Chain A
Amino acid sequence: MKRDPTLGGETVEALEARSPFRFPREMVIGLLVLAVAWQILSLFVPPFIVPGWERIFGSLVTLRMDFVLITLARVVVALVVSFVLGLGFAVLMYGSTRIERYGRPIVRLLMAVPVVCWILFAVLWFRWVEFRIAFVLVVVCAPVFLVDILDAMRGVSKDLRDMLRSFRPTHAQLFTKLVLPATLPVMLTSWKINLSLAIRVVTIAELVGAVTGIGYGLVVAQELFSVSEVFAWTLILVALLFAAEAVLTHVEERLLRWRV
């Protein structure tokens, strides 16, 4: 791992671990450099290709913020359902190698299908738009939860398992006292991965058929050829993702404070 001389020989990761709530100076400077470069570029390129920040922020204040809440609600509900399903099936497969032998290929198949195909299937199969979006999100995210959690359960240390078994726990105790807590770090990582995935997928799903949400907002902006509005929506999506990741990181720090 490279050491950053500006941080006194300390790695960025080590510094963040030591003081997780410090001001993210490097990130802010990096983003500012990018923003300045963008603004300079906008001076030389027509605004319908690269709009300046004044145009983007001008569009930003005109956007329907209820669309942001709707998209966020769709993501959160779908992720909760995906997590419950992923965890449930992971527990089933963990409990029975026979179920896992039959289930794994199906999960692999689900994961191999491109998102755009799921969207098309949803449009063909379901009439209700909300259900279409939820279906696409769940079918994409639940297998990721399932595989991550199942692999983590399988990877629980044999030493710890033997230690606990020497005290004769019931199956439920073995699961709740060892397997679940040992899997928690992976669950949280899986939430982060799926959050990023869901925010990208929901936007695509909303492009087809929805009349609300950020994806719909993007379609409208594209139809009006309002490039600054497209960028404004993109900015919101990125900000949404950063904010959600920050919340998850905070939850992670609280729940996993036992880690070194």
Chain B
Amino acid sequence: MAGVRGAGPIEVTGLRKVFHQTGTGEAVVAIERLDFVIQQGEMVAIVGQTGCGKSTFLNILIGLDRPTDGRVAVGGRAPYDDFDHFRGVLAAVFQQDRLLPWRTAVDNVRLPLELLGRDPGEQLARARAWLDRLGLGRFERAYPHELSGGMRQRVALARAFAVEPALLLADEAFGHLDEVTAAALRQTFVELARTEGNTAILVTHQLEEAIDMGGRILVFGRPGRLLADINLRTWPAASVASLRADIQRMLQDNAADPRFSPAAEEQA
């Protein structure tokens, strides 16, 4: 079951990421420096404005991108360098559902299990179970274009959970949905992550979403630096409203900083 294997703590040390613009070769700093540790089983929301390096960080954590400097290690191993080690260990839900349009809902959920070489019977049973759990049992034979945005995102959630990953990542996964659907999916995400004992990281630019998760909030500022590290579990409930105002002020001050050009924001 989930979390049994355990991904181990996520250690981010002196992380820096620089992109080079195509054509001009001009260097654009996406992440200036990040240092923090996320313990196994923690639920963390990374919040920040567009262009603060949230998605870049997540891509590095997934292993799709390599750091320019510093290190990201999960259980002591770097996801980019030890790419195959994380097979079946982590799963991600992205802003767009990224379902394969030629596969039905159930076949999309099966996909990671096929990649892991699981028994076909087990693949189908587990995919169906997760679709049922997310209220999509009746739509298992539907193609993505036959489903609404919220339903497609639930299929994407089912696909991520079907792997029973020790590390679950969501990149602005609910931001483009209407508030009611987003809130319901967010709640599902949090509940499932807690039940399964995953380490869960939700990247968002919506402060409310981060607070709703009720775990730890890492506030990112431009260009990719940690402005605040807040643990809501130890935060007095009465002062959550003031916390919201504090974070907003922090982000506004960061956005007003003249050092960060629009070009840098775009690239990041």
Contacts and interface: CB of A to CB of B under 8 A. Distances in A.
Q: Please determine whether chains A and B interact with each other in the same assembly.
A: yes
Interface size on A, as a range, is: 20 to 34
A3 interface: no
Interface in B73-104: 83-84, 86-88, 90-92, 94, 96, 98, 100-103
A4 interface: no
B1 interface: no
Nearest to B112: A167
B87 A166 contact: no
Interface of A: 159-160, 162-169, 173, 177-178, 181-182, 184, 256, 258-260
Contacts of B62: 162, 166
Contacts of A178: 100
A139 to B, nearest CB: 32
Most buried by B among A167, A182, A184, A258: A167
Nearest to B145: A260
B115 A169 contact: yes
Nearest to A255: B102
A55 B101 CA distance: 52
8 contacts: A159-B94, A163-B92, A166-B63, A166-B92, A168-B88, A173-B114, A181-B102, A258-B101
Contacts of B88: 168
B203 interface: no
Contacts of B114: 173, 177
A178 B103 CA distance: 11
Contact of B98 (A159, A181, A258, A259): A159
Contact of B94 (A163, A167, A169, A256): A163
5 pairs of A and B residues whose beta carbons are closest in the complex: A168-B87, A163-B98, A167-B112, A258-B102, A258-B143
B64 interface: yes
